[in-house]
Amino acid sequence: MRPYSLNSPEAAARLLAMVLVADGRYSMAEIKALDRHNAPTQLGLSPSAMQTVINDFCTDLLADAGGEWTSSTHLADTTRQRLIAEVQDPELQERVWHLCEAIARADGHLADGEVDMLDTLAFSWRQVPESRD
């Protein structure tokens, strides 16, 4: 997977792409949700730049899987965590999570892969206080 700068619009948009293909495909309802929620603008991208990030992610996903199409949930955990870690700003994380949730819910069905991606994002980004024994 190509690296993006920390907290860049592209790094954030790639996480939306991960949710888009979490079940192995994306629907027109999910694409329309990107437009309805002004996702490119919210992330600081033009619509064409957003499309480029989605296309690049799909290309990288194919390369990672040896040319066989798969869902983004089949990424190695280390790769997935590296991509998630490229977004560290708490406000950007919240914006991305809400956009990801909107995309996942857009077709009226939360697939297992979408739930997994939303849970992974939430778990990766939440601040867990240290336990006091």
Q: Can you tell me the mean pLDDT for 3-17?
A: 97
Query: DSSP letters of 31-96?
Result: HHHHHHTTHHHHHT--HHHHHHHHHHHHHHHHHHTTT----GGGS-HHHHHHHHHT---HHHHHHH
pTM score over 0.75: yes
Q: Name the architecture of domain 9-124.
A: Orthogonal Bundle (1.10)
Tally Cβ neighbours within 10 Å of residue 133: 3
**Per-residue pLDDT tens over the stretch 101-123:** 999 999 898 888 899 999 999 99
- The pLDDT assigned to 66 comes to 60
Inform me whether the pLDDT recorded for 96 exceeds 80.
yes
**Per-residue pLDDT tens over the stretch 28-73:** 999 999 999 999 999 999 999 999 999 999 888 888 766 555 555 5
Q: Where are the domains of the chain?
A: 9-124
